[in-house]
C-alpha cells in the first residue's frame, strides 16, 4: 500500500519507503514503561512490514529499551530491505524525565545498547538527538563536533552505516557535513508548524531525507477548520490529508507517524494513496498564515 508514496534512495545501500512507521507510541504512557497491550504492539509492527513499510524509526530511550525489544521480538530476523533508524543523545530518569546525554563515551554506550536490544551487528541509521529548547522554541546554537565526531568514529569502525541529526538547525547540518555524510534530518514540522521550511527545501536540494516528527501534531493534535473542510471534500480523514500534504511538500520528505493500533496504522498508511489536487494544496498551504 505504500507504493504510491514511493521510495527514497539515499545511498547505494539505503532505499526506504517514504511512508514509514514511528515506534515511539508502542511504549507506555509518556513513552515510559511497557505497552498497554503487548500483543497489539507486536501485531502493529508486523502489519506495518506487511503493508510495505521499510523504514522504522525508534530509539533505546523509548521505554527505555521497550520499543527496541518489541521490534526485535516482532521482526527478528529482520526482512531483507527493512531499515531501522534509531536515535542517541538522551537518557531517561527513573521518573520518566528526558535527560540530554551527548558525552562521547555515553554515546558509544548508547549505540551498543541499541545494537544489543535490536540484536544487530550494525545500525542502519543513527540520529544524533541534539539538545533543543523545546520543539516550539527552536535550536540551541552549540557545536556538535564532539558528539557527532564520536558517532563518525563508530561509523568508521563499521558499527553504524549512516548518520543523521534530530533537532538540528541548518548551521548544525553544515557543521556535521564537514565531519561525515548526513542522510537524514528529523525535526518538528507539520501542516501547521512550518518554521523549518528552509530546512525542508535544503534537504530536498541535497537529497537528504526529511523526517517530520509530530506530523499530526504530537501531544497536541492538529486543529484546523481548513484541514477538516479539505478532508471532507476528498472523503478522507484530516489526519490522512495532513500526512499526504507532507508527502507532497518535497520529494525527500518521509513520514514516521506512530500508533499503537492496527486500525490507525492502516489509516495512516492509506494516506500514501491520497493525491491532493492543486486547489486543496492552496487551501492547506495557507493554514500556517492563519
pLDDT digits (tens, 9 = 90+) for 226-238: 889 999 999 999 9
**pLDDT for 27-58, tens place per residue?**
999 999 999 999 999 999 999 999 999 999 99
What's the CA dihedral at 247, 236, 43, 82 to 10 degrees? -20
Backbone φ, ψ for residue 133 (5° rounding):
-70, -65
d(CA 121, CA 123): 7
Which of 3-17, 75-89, 206-220 shows the highest mean pLDDT? 75-89
Report the share of the chain in percent with pLDDT over 90. 86
Mean pLDDT of 74-96: 97
CA angle 142, 145, 147 (to 5 degrees): 95
Query: Per the structure block, which three cell numbers stand in for 239?
Result: 489526519
**What pLDDT shows up at residue 137?**
57
Of 21, 62, 127, 189, the active-site residue reads 62
Average pLDDT, the chain: 93
Let me know if 62 is a catalytic residue: yes
Return the exposure string of 227-264: e unless at least 16 CB atoms fall within 10 Å of the residue's CB, then b: beebbeebebbbbbbbbbbbbbbbebbbbbbbbbeeeb
**pLDDT for 52-75, tens place per residue?**
999 999 999 999 999 999 999 999
Amino acid at each position: 500500500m505504500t507504493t504510491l508514496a514511493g521510495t527514497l534512495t539515499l545511498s547505494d545501500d539505503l532505499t526506504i519507503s517514504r511512508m514509514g512507521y514511528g515506534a515511539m507510541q508502542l511504549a507506555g504512557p509518556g513513552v515510559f514503561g511497557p505497552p498497554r497491550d503487548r500483543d497489539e504492539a507486536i501485531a502493529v509492527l508486523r502489519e506495518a512490514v506487511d503493508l510495505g513499510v521499510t523504514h522504522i524509526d525508534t530509539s533505546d530511550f523509548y521505554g527505555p529499551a521497550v520499543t527496541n525489544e518489541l521490534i526485535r521480538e516482532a521482526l527478528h530476523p529482520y526482512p531483507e530491505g527493512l531499515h531501522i533508524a534509531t536515535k542517541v543523545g538522551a537518557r531517561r530518569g527513573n521518573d520518566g524525565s528526558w535527560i540530554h546525554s551527548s558525552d562521547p563515551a555515553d554515546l558509544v554506550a548508547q549505540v551498543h545498547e541499541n545494537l544489543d536490544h535490536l540484536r544487530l551487528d550494525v545500525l542502519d541509521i543513527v540520529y544524533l538527538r541534539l539538545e533543543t529548547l523545546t520543539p516550539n522554541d527552536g535550536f540551541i546554537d552549540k557545536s556538535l563536533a564532539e558528539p557527532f565526531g564520536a558517532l563518525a568514529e563508530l561509523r568508521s569502525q563499521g558499527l553504524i552505516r549512516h548518520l543523521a541529526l534530530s533537532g538540528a538547525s541548518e548551521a548544525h547540518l553544515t557543521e556535521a557535513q564537514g565531519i561525515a555524510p548526513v542522510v537524514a534530518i528529523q525535526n518538528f514540522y507539520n501542516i501547521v508548524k512550518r518554521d523549518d521550511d528552509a530546512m525542508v527545501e535544503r534537504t530536498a536540494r541535497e537529497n537528504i531525507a526529511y523526517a517530520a516528527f509530530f506530523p499530526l501534531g504530537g501531544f497536541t493534535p492538529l486543529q484546523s477548520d481548513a484541514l477538516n473542510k479539505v478532508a471532507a471534500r476528498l472523503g478522507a480523514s484530516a489526519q490522512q490529508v495532513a500526512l499526504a500534504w507532507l508527502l507532497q511538500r518535497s520529494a525527500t520528505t518521509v513520514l514516521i507517524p506512530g500508533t499503537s493500533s492496527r486500525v490507525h496504522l492502516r489509516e495512516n498508511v492509506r494516506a500514501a494513496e491520497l493525491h491532493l489536487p492543486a486547489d486543496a494544496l492552496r487551501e492547506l498551504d495557507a493554514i500556517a498564515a492563519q
